[in-house]
Structure 1
């Protein structure tokens, strides 16, 4: 995969199609595995099958995603998280190594909010491997249920972490508005997210909408056309905002990003 820092050209418009093909490749192995293990309930439930399929695909793709985005995400996560953290949509834990004590010594607790239970085993293993086994707790509900089923109280969180997850949440604006209150005054929100392209007068704006017609089916509900950065900014009052677009991302990038930190007003 191309390095995220490299400039892109017109051929980069085709990259989402390649990623869709990668995901589609794992449909057949997932079906075979479910049949061999007699998991017919999962096989004949569309939502359960999609979770199993995506978990299998992400086992392969997750490490490659880390390699691709690492130059942007690692500086964001290192030394910025502290206290009690909520890690939204951690998947199989591909970024957990960045929360190890050597990088974020002041972290006291991490709640990993992952609704896909097929990823929990690997997520737990990743937490233990990162030396976080004693402070990492998996919450198996959606982010929209964090204060009800998850038991997270308002004003109790020092750091919120969202890395390419708000694109997949069914009710993103509602969730974002619910996440803001759980953050303590002065708390930080660390963000690396897909966003709607800012090049609305270019071909990529129409191409992004077209790709998004099928993209969510292959990437666990991910919607690449959401103005997530705008929604987060509008969710409450911020003392400091340090957000920027992905390095070298321009009018040929169908899946652009926003990256940086927001500090809640004290």
Structure 2
């Protein structure tokens, strides 16, 4: 382990700013309920936590947009989406900027939080995707809802997941279900943060995760995303998987990405 103690300490403590703001947003949600006389709502913890995540996301999203457009592989990954596309957790629609509309026949964005709808629909209009983009308010686990919108096993050409697998309930099982949705030859394109390969950083992630996950939309800092994706089924193009593990081993949100292909013929 390199003796970069100052850099490690700075990295290990900088999450407090994000977490602190999310906690503040939760406080504001409780305060509003009290001020407006909605006393029963004071006990609706889940609603306050959802409001905290939305407030945090909305306030900081312009930083995320700049980062994603200029410092990540997303400008290369997302344009590879083609055919019928299933976007998992589009949030406020940051990825819509990258889609190559000439390759796409249909996009179904499955978003579990209706709070993001105004911003998402605004992005759909801004990028002129109204004729191909359909928003479904549901979880990816709601297979009956997805089937009503034509999303069923063997029906999807591309699944896009950017910063979502960290927060899915039972991600191993849901990843296997997503694998089934892909047609033979279909692509799973992902860009996620994951558990650090550095032992010390991984331990620190675990400590932070106790408070981080409740206030940040169920996001977990220490999931083995690459392992979760690879266990879903047989994949081609596994050499496409990249990461930034070696650049700064003390980073709390290291990234992993790839463009995997479901084999045309499964043995």
Tell me if both proteins adopt one fold, taking TM over 0.5 as the criterion. yes
1:151-184: per-residue Cα shift (whole Å, max 9, x none)?
A: 1111111110100111111111111010001011
Structure 1 distance, partners of 2:172, 2:227, is 10
Q: Pairwise mapping of residues 1-266 of structure 1 onto structure 2 (< 5 A)?
A: 9-10=7-8, 11-33=10-32, 43-70=42-69, 71-99=71-99, 103-145=100-142, 147-151=143-147, 152-200=151-199, 203-241=200-238, 242-246=240-244, 249-266=247-264
| 8 Å Cα contact 1:249-1:256 kept in structure 2 | no
Q: Bigger shift: 64-73 or 79-88? A: 64-73
Q: Bigger shift: 123-132 or 174-183? A: 123-132
Give the match's secondary structure for 1:53: helix
Shift of the 31–12 alpha-carbon distance from structure 1 to 2, 3 Å rule, reads: same
Structure 1 distance, partners of 2:236, 2:96, is 27
Structure 2 distance, partners of 1:131, 1:36, is 41
1:139 CA drift (Å): 1.2
Give the match's secondary structure for 1:259: strand
- Structure 1-normalised TM-score? 0.87
Give the total of aligned pairs.
Answer: 253
1:31 CA drift (Å): 3.8
- Structure 2-normalised TM-score? 0.87
| 8 Å Cα contact 2:175-2:232 kept in structure 1 | yes
Give the match's secondary structure for 1:84: strand
List gaps (5 residues or longer) in structure 1. Answer: 1-7
Give the match's secondary structure for 2:256: strand
Give the match's secondary structure for 1:214: helix
Q: Between Structure 1 and Structure 2, which shows a larger proportion of helix residues? A: 2
Q: Bigger shift: 216-225 or 54-63? A: 54-63
